[in-house]
Amino acid sequence: MSRQSSRTGVLITGGSGFLGQEVIKRLTREDVRITGLAHSDSSAQTLRNLGVEPVMGRLDNIREWA
């Protein structure tokens, strides 16, 4: 039997930008599980460095998110 985490989870867009990074830091301090939308490898790496699980995609192609 697997046990699911009871932590709150959010999807954040713009997480690699200045304001997004500040939001991520705040949510991390509150033990929130964060997934971030990344549109480039560089953005994905920035999110990883912040402890965020990146999802590659864009808001205009949600069906293609990997």
pTM to 2 decimal places: 0.80
Say if CB 12 and CB 52 are below 8 A apart: yes
The pLDDT assigned to 61 comes to 82
Residue 30 has pLDDT above 70, yes or no: yes
pLDDT at 36: 95
pLDDT of residue 2: 46
Residue type, 18: F
The pLDDT assigned to 22 comes to 95
Average pLDDT of the chain to the nearest whole number? 88
Establish how many alpha carbons lie within 13 A of residue 16's alpha carbon, considering only the half-sphere containing its beta carbon: 18
